[in-house]
Amino acid sequence: MGVLTDYFRAPDDEAVIRLLDRTRGHSPIVGRKPSFDGVEAKGVDPGVVLGSLVATIRGVPWDVQQVKVSQVWPPASEQEPDPSEDDPFQDGPWAFALDDPTRDTLAGVAPADVTALVVTFVERTEELRGGGADEWRPVVEDLIGLARTARDADQHLYCWACL
């Protein structure tokens, strides 16, 4: 079972909550009229894969806390305290806010540095073994571009995910 992840930019948590409440949690970047600007990035979870990318950019060892996230949707009060087969949120969808330092780290990558960054990122990320730098370069470029646009618009980055 794979994790579907989309990254998007939005002005604030409230805008994300309103949209996901209205759409019953559908991804805000897919469909005929996407609600927010974003990037489809299947399997790029914030903690491991995106965290490895951010650690690579920062030149530090990977740590699961490299990217700080907070759940925005569904609100914690709507979740079952003891998940069961009937739990509507067991497989998602969920939306998480990413910390602004992560956005700024991604946004700060110079275009001339992307090729070397992707090679190093793929080599040091165990979860990407079997995939080459050519496969990951467009995803990394899209994430960097999204982060740059979000930073320049004084917006935040979010991750939408489901199983």
Instruction: Confirm if 104 and 68 have CB atoms less than 8 A apart.
Output: no
Break the chain into its structural domains and give their ranges.
4-76+91-162
For 7-42, the three-class secondary structure string (H helix, E strand, C coil) is EEEECCHHHHHHHHHHHCCCCCCCCCCCCCCEEECC
What gap in Å lies between CA 145 and CA 26, rounded to an integer?
Answer: 23
Q: For 111-154, write each residue's pLDDT tens digit.
A: 999 999 999 999 999 988 777 888 999 999 999 999 999 999 99
Other C-beta atoms within 10 Å of 125: how many?
19
For 87-111, the three-class secondary structure string (H helix, E strand, C coil) is CCCCCCCEEEEECHHHHHHHHCCCH
pTM reported for the whole predicted model: 0.90
Query: How would residue 38 be classed by pLDDT, with cut points 50, 70 and 90?
Result: very high
Of the CATH numbers 1.20.1640, 3.40.1760, 2.160.20, 3.30.2000, which one belongs to the domain with range 4-76+91-162?
3.40.1760
Q: For 54-65, write each residue's pLDDT tens digit.
A: 999 999 999 999
**Integer Rg of the chain from CA:** 16
Mean pLDDT of 93-110: 97
What does the block give as tokens for 137? 């370069």
Query: How would residue 27 be classed by pLDDT, with cut points 50, 70 and 90?
Result: very high
What gap in Å lies between CA 96 and CA 112, rounded to an integer?
Answer: 30
